[in-house]
Amino acid sequence: KAGVTQTPRYLIKTRGQQVTLSCSPISGHRSVSWYQQTPGQGLQFLFEYFSETQRNKGNFPGRFSGRQFSNSRSEMNVSTLELGDSALYLCASSFGAGGNYEQYFGPGTRLTVT
Amino acid sequence: GQSLEQPSEVTAVEGAIVQINCTYQTSGFYGLSWYQQHDGGAPTFLSYNALDGLEETGRFSSFLSRSDSYGYLLLQELQMKDSASYFCAVVYGQNFVFGPGTRLSVLP
């Protein structure tokens, strides 16, 4: 069974630009969660989508948004990029929603904002 | 608040046993998970405790005590490949909360 895939793997953007990251979950998984990982803040939850609906949301500004498609693939968008948005963005898929289910993480997208 | 505490670093030698503690200040959560992350890699699931007690999976065991708001990950027969960061995580309300991570260094 193929794992979670994320594209692109690396990205360099300029302040003020916007970016869209993509995540394809494991086949059969309907939940996709997004996380931001930085050395200073650790792993922080962004949001979770289940069956095309945002189920949970972390404490991030409205510049961070996402969506999920009918095939469970998910995209995350960050608008008006700031230097502090430089981070590793991880998505994780699970069979069900919520923390009761094991999450399978993708390799991440390394975003650098200059 | 919703916060988890873990030791920042732990060092041990090959073959030894190490315990990584996690204390949390949440209520109404569903359980405690543990993840391993090697440098440059993605987190991988290790264990999940929904109920109090010990869960054993090979060399790794995890323990939860809801009454003490405390859990730990026990790694036995340490190997060099166990050098990694270990995160505890809980679901609190609408959010997933990860601990700050414990960096384990296994020495020969």
Tell me the pLDDT of chain B (108 aa) as tens digits: 568 899 999 999 999 999 999 998 866 677 889 999 999 899 999 998 988 999 998 999 999 998 898 999 999 999 999 999 999 998 766 677 899 999 999 999
- Residue pair A97/A38 in contact (Cβ under 8 Å)? The answer is no
Collect the ranges in chain A with pLDDT lower than 50.
none
Residue-level pLDDT at A2: 80
B33 touches chain A (CB under 8 A): yes
Say whether B81 sits in a helix, a strand or coil: helix
Which of A35, A105, A108 comes nearest B44 by C-beta? Answer: A105
Cβ of A99 within 8 Å of Cβ of B42? The answer is no
Q: Which parts of A37-80 fold into alpha helices (H)?
A: none
Minimum CA–CA partner of B92 in chain A: A99
Buried b / exposed e over B24-55, threshold 16 CB at 10 Å, is: bebeebebbbbbbbeeeebbebbbbbeeeeeb
Facing residue for A100 by CB, picked from B35, B41, B50: B50
pLDDT at A42: 87
- pLDDT at position B25 is 81
Distance from the Cα of B101 to chain A's closest Cα (Å) equals: 8
Q: Are A23 and A103 in contact (CB under 8 A)?
A: no
Chain A residue whose CA is closest to B89: A99
The β-bridge relationship of strands B70-75 and A10-13 is: unpaired
Which chain B residues in 49-78 lie under 8 Å from chain A, judged by CB atoms?
Answer: 50
Give the list of residues 6+ apart from residue B39 with CB closer than 8 angstroms, or none: B84, B85
The Cα B63–Cα B70 span in angstroms is 8
Interchain contact, B43 vs A43, CB within 8 Å = yes
Residue appearing with tokens 């919703």: B2
Partner-chain residue, chosen from B30, B98, B99, that has the shortest CB–CB distance to A100: B30
* Contact yes or no for A74/A27 (Cβ under 8 A): no
First to last CA, chain B: 40
Cβ-contact B87, B34 below 8 angstroms: yes
In this prediction, residue B93 carries a pLDDT of: 65
| Coil vs helix vs strand at B80 | helix
